[in-house]
Amino acid sequence: MPCYPSLFAAHLRVDNVGTILEQVETNKKTLILHGTKTSAVLNSVLSDIYHLKRDNAVKYTKKNDNIRPFESGGETSLEFFSLKTDCSLIVYGSHSKKRPNNLVLGRTYDHHIYDLVEIGVENYKSMESFVYDKKLAPKLGSKPFFAFIGEHFESAEELKHLKEVLLDLFKGEVVENLNLAGVDRIYVCTAVSPTTVYMMHCALRLKRSGTSIPRMELVEVGPSMDLVVRRHRLPVESLRKEAMKTVEHAKKLKNVTKDPIHGRLGKVYMPDQEVGKLTLSNDVKGLKRERREAKKNKEHSKKQKVNSE
């Protein structure tokens, strides 16, 4: 399932004459916000998410009254905070009797709301509730594995969407080369039903196996929780097409180079010519002048002949 790798925060790399060479994705920052009312469980959830994303996240603890992500005009404040903090991922927590322990995960394109997923948090266990060797704690900047278990991630539209958002939220920085020593944790997401996912965060422990390939064990380090999808909003098709546009690379021109000082330079090749065999075209200015003078002399001689007669 694609996770829209270059969807939200990107800059263009151009050459010295302004030609776009490549669209480069920048790191996606996460904005964490509190609603008008939150519960102790929800405060702990937001704190754990911030702890997992602390190298690339911004957290506001002040309560926000006028944020209604799924209502018309209610996303204005989210877009304002996204622009202010330059964040393309949003985690918004609120608590009410109708929707207890409610989390809204959102993504933006050009600092406008792109899509939203609303989930309820159940059976939550915080990171502090787990006892383990602190040497196994995830290191800052490490890359996680992801395991999505269950056919509902392919058949249920809600879980397809949730999978994309979770990948974008927790995958970390986009890299080309990876040191396996930096892959020390895994998120295991199990689809219990078409709307419910059990999510757990584990550290990877390497054990001796008697061979060159070590045996791998999972040690749960938290948090763990059940995520129940309540509402979700897919992007508008026109916005999705605009966000998924890629830079079309220009056709390479033959014998054309680019110089940092002179700009664009071109080479022209002419066949070898021998002295004495050069031919001049009829468009040479010198030949035209000679013809005009010859014609003038001819007319002058005709006038003299008529006058003599």
Helix (H) / strand (E) containing 133: none
Q: What is the pLDDT of residues 71-114, one digit of tens each?
A: 888 889 999 999 999 999 999 999 999 999 999 999 999 889 99
Give the dihedral sign, CA 50/56/60/64: negative
Measured CA to CA, the distance from residue 68 to residue 75 in angstroms comes to: 6
Q: Does any domain span residue 256?
A: no
Q: Which residues of 30-49 are buried (b: 16+ CB within 10 A; e: fewer)?
A: bbbbbbeebbebbebbbbbb
What's the total number of domains in the chain?
1
pLDDT value of position 14: 47
SS (H, E, C) 168-235: HHHCCCCCCCCCHHHCCEEEEEEEEECCEEEEEEEEEEEECCCCCCCEEEEEEEEEEEEEEEEEEECC
pLDDT value of position 306: 67
Measured CA to CA, the distance from residue 99 to residue 265 in angstroms comes to: 65
Q: What is the pLDDT of residues 47-63, one digit of tens each?
A: 999 999 888 899 998 99
Q: Does any domain span residue 219?
A: yes
- Span 261-288, mean pLDDT? 67
Q: What is the pLDDT of residues 249-259, one digit of tens each?
A: 556 677 788 77
- Domain extent for 164: 10-243
Q: Does any domain span residue 257?
A: no
Which CATH number is 145's domain given?
3.40.50.10480
Contacts of 147 (CB under 8 A, 6+ apart): 186, 187, 188, 189
Measured CA to CA, the distance from residue 60 to residue 91 in angstroms comes to: 11
Provide the mean pLDDT of the chain: 82
Q: Does any domain span residue 284?
A: no
Predicted confidence (pLDDT) at residue 136 exceeds the cutoff of 50: yes
Q: Which tops the pLDDT comparison, 118 or 270?
A: 118
